[in-house]
Structures are given as structure tokens and as C-alpha cells.
Structure 1
């Protein structure tokens, strides 16, 4: 037999004993946690029509699709790079008449067109929960607490939750620190890189304090409140502080108000979960909006976990 016939594509691998069994147990632990909080499981398909899938995608994720032509319909299909958008479709169509808030949980494989340096695998397990119909502080607190509890039940220790404000530049650039759309994009880029010199060159020195307002939660929050002289952000800062207090005894807390990586469609708040001994993020979540069939939107909040490193470490 040709040895090449035994090779797998780059970024794909077999799951062998005992890791395959460990992965199943971990998945069940997380899903059982979601179920205990009233999150009903749904299971969307791995592939959808490309135009249907991309209609609910935001940002660069559209370029992260594996596509092929369906021999039956002759339409282009795409393999999902993320499950969250599919949950939004289900909520807006099949479950549109269900009472809100609607709690849905899921687990499934997602396919990435390209691998990353920190996560070289292109086929990943994604487990998550979405609370649809509200993005209140109470709903956000529930989502963050459930995410931390699920990881704890799966055996994760040394959890850190890093909070962010994904639309912060949008709010400030439309108010006390005005910027054009193009300027706002440049400011976001410099803030992502924490480049004080770059902000100064852009003439956006008013945004410099945001770089300093990063780090341990309490100190960073104090700096954000001092920065918010117009009280424009008071309600958001109060909300994030309340969410943080709900898990203050379960996780280390940090704040990076301008972090945008992985938050292409979230709005007033987002969070990233890290764990001791693991490189990169274990999961992300936050508040966002779902497009309804009547051209309106409804609020939602949720999280996605990518627990592959837990199994690999086992």
C-alpha cells in the first residue's frame, strides 16, 4: 500500500485510546452542567448552504469556510467554522415561537480552513450555551458563571476570566472622542497592539488611557472609571463589575477593555477564559444580537468552549 494513502490532511488527526474516551467523558461533564441550568441541547448539521451560513456571519470568519458543491442541489455548501451562528438561525426559525429567554446548549465539531500557531488543529470540538432573548446583567452573570462551573466540573483549575468591552471604540468615537470610520479602524488596530506611539501618531491621544486600563480587574476598573469623566460608560462598567463579582471567588479576574480578537460580533461586553497550564484561550463569550425573520433583532448572550487542550493534556 502506498504510504501516502495513510496520511491525514494538515491539521487533522485521529483520536485514539485513552484520549477518545477522556474526550467523551469531558464533553458529557460539560453538557451535564449546561443541562442542570436548564439549557436544552440542540444539534445543527455540520454543513449548510453557504449563503445561509454567511448571512449570519460577521467579519473575517467568512473567509474561514471550507466550501464544496452539493451534487444533489448543485448549490455551494459550507462546513461550519463556528456553531454559534447556527444556534441563532435555529432560534430565529424553528424555535421562533418559543418563550424567551430561550436557553440552548450544543456540542459539535467545527472545521477551520487554516490552522493557527497556538491551535494547529483545523477540526475542533466546540461546546457552548446561548441565552437568547435578553442580554441583561443577570443573563450575562449566568452565562459567565455557567461557563466557569462547566470547566471546573471538567477538571480545570486556575481559571482566569478576562473581560472586555468590544464596542468601546464605537461608543467613544461617536461621542467624546470623535473619529471617522477609517480612523476608528486604525485606532482599534493600535489598541490591539497596545501601541501608545501609534496612537500618538494618529493624533488619538485621548485613547491612550485605555492601554493603561488593562490588567488585574479592580485596578483596571478604577482606571476605567477615572477615564470615564463624562459618565458615558457608567452603566456598562457597573454591569461588568456586577458580572465579575458573581465569580470573584471562583476565578482570577482581569480587564482588557479594548481586546477585540475573537469578538467580531459581540457588543457591550465580552470575556475570554484562560486556565493555568494551557496556552491560549479555553473559550470566549459575550453579548450580541440575533437577526430575526421579520428583519428585527433580539439580544442574546452566550459562550463557546474549545476544550481540546484538556484532553491533550490528559
Structure 2
């Protein structure tokens, strides 16, 4: 019976064994891919000074974080909502003298004061990689392809990559000599809502073609090139085309490529390049990434983040494996050998236990595990 005191806050939940196993399997698979590609794992603390977190990424909102006063220093602490700024701090401080490009990986819990309607979870397991010290097509391509490989290793299929240009409006406004921040903000707002009428109403008619330069990558890119007759976006579009070409060469039709140049949700601090990852059977995005500058050092970096507890919803169920039931009085050496060989073991603690009901597949008889049905 659930008592009122047993209820969890909105947006938080317990992960029971089956769900926790899927998350753990996906996490290990993704981290192994990052390790194989040379990304070294770091583990920043769960809490930091609010001012430090806010200074590392442009657009990071500490108002979305749980904050409280540190009794030791009397300064404001924040519970992280995003690990990427912490990795940026590490790269700019403790590892500032490490050779570049610097490849770092991470995995840890994050929390939000309020969740969005699209994603009601307030606690998330964030996993990702950051490539620091390189702002090149090769660096961007590597990050996207490592992210795709990580999703595939976790068992996800039907992967698609949706490219965007986070600083698109700023670039076009500079082209047109538009320095009015209110007008630029209004144009962004209407592009975010894909509202053609609203865009005209705020004096953004010249941006209307951007609403239609979306969809399959090749056709959307062609639309953007036609729109960009004055060449303000040429280097960015050339870069996108090169990245897409590398992905297509590596994955062919197994990975779908699309383009939505005005998409800004989730790209608060990215610069010229951003991407969102989607998978079949998964509601919402599987992850996001892109290029950015680390606050303080202004060093270029490219990275991606996956929320493992979310993507594990579509990952295949982790196999339980072989579980050997160890009767009372079993040989401890034999049990240790089985575990070294990859078995899980469950020791009997009292009379009347049911090995099958406890999830066992075998029962240890002497030095040999026997299939449960065969042994009964």
C-alpha cells in the first residue's frame, strides 16, 4: 500500500530492475564507443558555484537549476542541469595545458527545477563527449559519427540526424545591417513558431524562405543556397554539405539526414553548427550536439549529449543472462569460478526458496550448474 509520504515529486521516478538494467546496458555500450574513439572520461561534481557554471556557456540559464547557499563558503551553489559547462571548465582550467585536440567523455545525473511539456522528466542521466580545441569540418564530422555509433551500440535503429544553424538569424541580420535587438528577437520568435504571418507582421518578410528550406537534406540545402544569393551563409552551407557527405559515405541510407536551419530548441549556446538525433520508436529527440565556445577561454569545442534514461526506452531489453542458484553448503570456490566466467549467482539463504521465482536459470549441483527444469 502506497502512503502519501511514499509519493515522489513530480517529474521524478524510481527505476525498477528491468528499467535500470536497460539504462545500464545502454550507458555501458555508449561509453565503450567513446572509449574506443579516444575520449577519456571525466567526472565533475554534482554541485558547483552558480557563478562558475553560468560563466562557461553563453545562454545557460541558472534559473532552471536548484540553487542554495553553501554553509561553508556562504556562496550560492547550483545543482547542475547540464554537464557540458563543467567539462568546459575542466578543459579551461585543470586540463588547459593538455595537448589539443582534447577528447573528453562524461556520464552523470542532472536535475531541473521545472521540466518542459515535451519532456516532463526533471532528473536525467546525461552522457556525452566533447572535442575541445578544434573547430573544423573533420571535428564536427567525428562528433556526429561517434554519436551515431553510440546510439547503434545501444541497440537503437532508424537513426536520423537533423542539422541546424543556431546563429543563422544573427548572421543574416549582420548581412542586412540590422542592429535592432528587439527586431532580431521578434524574428527569432516567429521563426521558432514557424509562423509566416507573424514573421511578416514583425517586419521579417525577407526571412520567409527559411520556413520552407526544411526537410530532406539535399533539397533543403538547395533551397538555402538559392536564398543565400549574397553568400553570407556560403561557408556554413559548404560545411554542412561536407559533414553530411561524410556521414552518407559511412552509413549510406541507414542514417537519414534532414535540415531545419531555424531550429533553436536545445541550442542555447551552440554557434554555427548544431544537430539533433532521432531514432525509431523513441518519442522526442535522442540527443543533441554542435559547436560552441567555452566561456572564459573562448576555446572552440564540438560535442554531443545523450539522455540515456530516455533513449533506453527504445533500446532492446537487456538479457538477463545465466543465473546459478547456489544451494546451502555450496562450494565457495566453485561459485567464484562461475562468476569469473560471467555467471550471476544467487545464494540460498533459507528453506523454502523457489529458484525459478527468484529468476534463476540453473541450480549448482556439485561443481556443475544444471538447467533449472532438468534439475527438478
Q: CA RMSD for the aligned pairs?
A: 1.6
Hey, what's the Cα distance between the residues in 2 that align with 1:2 and 1:208?
54
Hey, what's the Cα distance between the residues in 2 that align with 1:201 and 1:16?
51
Hey, what's the Cα distance between the residues in 1 that align with 2:186 and 2:179?
10
- Which structure has more relative contact order (CA 8 Å, sep 6+)? It is 1
Establish whether residue 221 from structure 1 lines up as the match of residue 225 from structure 2. Answer: no
TM-score, normalization: structure 1?
0.95
Hey, what's the Cα distance between the residues in 2 that align with 1:137 and 1:263?
19
User: Contact 2:159–2:279 at 8 Å: present in 1 too?
Assistant: yes
Aligned to 1:23: 23
Shift of 1:59: 2.8
Establish whether residue 35 from structure 1 lines up as the match of residue 39 from structure 2. Answer: no
Aligned to 1:278: 282
CA 124–11 in structure 1, closer or farther in 2 if over 3 Å, else same: same
Cα displacement string for residues 109-143 of structure 1 (whole angstroms, at most 9, x for unaligned residues): 00011122232211101000000001111100000
Shift of 1:74: 2.5
Aligned to 1:306: 307
CA 65–272 in structure 1, closer or farther in 2 if over 3 Å, else same: same
Hey, what's the Cα distance between the residues in 1 that align with 2:164 and 2:311?
24
User: Contact 1:58–1:265 at 8 Å: present in 2 too?
Assistant: yes
Shift of 1:51: 1.6
Paired residue total? 311
Which deviates the most, 258-267 or 78-87?
Answer: 258-267
Aligned to 1:184: 184
User: Contact 2:162–2:259 at 8 Å: present in 1 too?
Assistant: yes
3-state secondary structure, aligned to 1:287: strand
Gaps of 5+ in 1: none
Cα displacement string for residues 241-299 of structure 1 (whole angstroms, at most 9, x for unaligned residues): 1111122224111101111111111111100011111111111000000134xxx4111
Aligned to 1:235: 235
User: Contact 1:159–1:276 at 8 Å: present in 2 too?
Assistant: yes
Structure 1 consecutive aligned stretches of length 4 or more whose deviation exceeds 6 Å: none
TM-score, normalization: structure 2?
0.80
Shift of 1:231: 1.5
3-state secondary structure, aligned to 1:104: strand
User: Contact 2:275–2:290 at 8 Å: present in 1 too?
Assistant: yes
